[in-house]
Structure 1
Amino acid sequence: MSSAPCNALVRAASGLLVPRTVIETGPGLSVDPPADGECPQTWTLSVDASWAQGPWAGVGTHDLDGADRVYEEITEVAPMVIPRSGVWEINYAVRGGVQLPPNLVASQFVVAALFENGNLIVGQEVMVTGLSRGQATGATAGAQNTATGAFLRGFTAGDEITLHAYPIGQLGISQIVSNGDGRTRLMAHWIAPLGDTPS
């Protein structure tokens, strides 16, 4: 038998053993096999890191006019549909605004969170902005701020991610805003197949 480095045959008591290579890949992975007769054989592994985005549909303002701590969907932000099962890095930015009425002791806040298929994803809520006045004097007060959130989570292809928010305070105004001065948006980046675990 040849002792050349690329001779993979093995002489055994029962005869010659011919190795066979089987490569299986999960979602987002692909393999290019070597050319016939190539020595050494080179197998190329490629990763397709898929991504998704749910942008604000145009420019505008969403008034949060519901009850305190009762979520409502921010319908101006398009739902983000997960295109591939796996572990995803989710990032979102939320621009919020609040206004207080003049000459009143008042507080006004905006809280935002993401929902998966209509259910709150617990643990990633963000306090977007808030303003309090402790004395009943002064003109109308207003504030704006942008909050960001990021987390890793496993999703199944077809899962729908939506942005929700609620106000705290009923005397003033709470809003979600998006325009050229600051955007509200959702983003997701596929990083691993389902079953992958933290190291």
Structure 2
Amino acid sequence: MSIFENILDILEKKGAISIPSLLDEMNRVSNFQRTGAKSVELSHVKSVISRKRELFHIKNNIVTIDPDKDPILLSVSLGSYPGPWYKIEVDFINGRFDYFEWHLSSFSSRNELPKASGSIEEFKKELYRLKIWKWQKEYKNPGILMDSVTWSIKLVTKENIFESQGIQSFPNGWDKFCMALTNLTGKYIC
């Protein structure tokens, strides 16, 4: 697990924490998990926090995830005619997700059962990497569209709401976002 992921895990479990306490916790956890593990140094922790400063909020040497980026709810809707159409809502507070799939045709080629669902914590880490809050409000394909994919996303954070939508046009990182949804739900999404 990377230092970045360790920081996210500790902040998720402990909440706001001082940088020295964060370092102590990281070293305690890594030594507990692996005997003989190399200690994490303060400079490494500060370097990661500095590189990811848009995600972390630091005040009086206390680190938190920026409330403007800390997700509460994610709602995703995507599909095309004649289908399938997907609606996924991820509730980060209660640690659960709802998955709906519609098919207009009874001759769907996707009748497989979902594999085991993934981790909401891992999905949340991927959202931090993808920086959905930077996605444009609208993505459009300038050409004539037939059988196009339509999608919309609404990310509710502790202090903001980010919405994005598109028709056969996607933001950078869309494939990684689809893979994260697939890993979370256990179903191939897009």
TM-score, normalisation: structure 2? 0.23
Query: Greater RCO between the two (CA within 8 Å, min separation 6)?
Result: 1
More helix by share: 2
More strand by share: 1
Which structure has the bigger radius of gyration?
1
TM-score, normalisation: structure 1? 0.23
